[in-house]
Amino acid sequence: MNLPENFSFSQQNLQDYSDCRYRFLLKYVHGIEWPAVESEPVLLQEARMELGQQFHRLVQQYFSGVDQSLLGASIQSPELGAWWQEFTTLDLTTFPGEKYAEKTISIPFNGYRLTAKYDLLVIEPGRKFTIYDWKTSTYLPKATNLLGRLQSIVYPFVLRKSITDHQEAKDMMEEIEMIYWFPAHPARPIRFQYSNDRFLQDGDLLTGLVNEIVENDEGWFNRTSDQSRCRYCNYRSHCGRGINAGVIEPGSEEFLDESAFDLDFNAL
Ligand code: SF4
């Protein structure tokens, strides 16, 4: 498969590939945009993603040094205000380490690049790296589902690889922890420690995925047989998988797809 020039792998495009090879083909190889489905569940999802984007912007401005009270005064949504209150109560600026909001790291990988964009990276030199990711869903996803997603694989892998590629004493590894923090459930973060075993496993898994994508021709990129993955996909009508979006079930994991948050905050 010929990928576009300067194509970079990311948790989002690898997750799309894992969910549906055909979606990857349409979106990233052919660059086909298809009109979003204008129905109630999708509009609701878009409204929630907009709220999530506003939260991400606030946090980025907070770590850029914008006055906390000015940021708080700019909030109009009561729900966003409650999230902001919980976030500022965390008082992350007092935690040890250098803090980098919306930090992008890109590494060479199998002839391409693999890129991760971190909501917040906290670096305690010689000791620890902590990856924070804000999840603004109203429900708390199952930890096993979240930890199985490509984000939980790509983010710590890219960080570990970038450290080992630049570190002279490779046996002096800093600890890496990833924390998903939910402003709607501030006391229930989902966190995991990264290990060298996991780093090796993830490297094999990512290599396998990238090889599958680059070594196969278009015939490989078929439509998923799991039609539940089509419920909110923009290509539903293109694929003959229905016109209207499905109804969001209570406790649904659908909002885990935060592709709308994949913004270039440096350009804002
Ligand atoms: S509608 Fe379904 S089959 Fe078509 S691209 Fe989307 S997920 Fe794949």
263 lies in some domain: no
67 lies in some domain: yes
68 lies in some domain: yes
- For residue 246, what pLDDT is reported? 52
Pick the residue whose CA is nearest to atom 5 on ligand 1.
23
The two structure tokens encoding residue 106: 């890109």
72 lies in some domain: yes
- For residue 164, what pLDDT is reported? 84
Each residue's pLDDT tens digit, 198-207:
999 999 999 9
Q: Which residues of the chain have pLDDT under 50?
A: 169, 250-251, 254-268
The residues that bridge with 8 in the sheet, in sequence order, are 113
- For residue 40, what pLDDT is reported? 58
Pick the residue whose CA is nearest to atom 7 on ligand 1.
230
* pTM metric for this prediction: 0.88
Each residue's pLDDT tens digit, 59-81:
999 999 999 999 999 999 999 99
Residue 165's φ and ψ, nearest 5 degrees, are: -70, -20
In 3D space, the residue among 15, 3, 20, 4 whose CA is nearest the CA of residue 239 turns out to be: 20
- For residue 237, what pLDDT is reported? 85
Q: Beta-strand (E) ranges in 97-165?
A: 98-109, 112-124, 128-134
Domain housing 80: 8-245
192 lies in some domain: yes
- For residue 218, what pLDDT is reported? 96
Best substitution site from 223, 225, 234, 243 to test ligand 1's pocket, by max atoms within 8 Å of Cβ? 223
Number of domains forming the structure of the chain: 1
The CATH number given to whatever domain includes residue 130 is 3.90.320.10
Pick the residue whose CA is nearest to atom 3 on ligand 1.
223
- For residue 233, what pLDDT is reported? 86
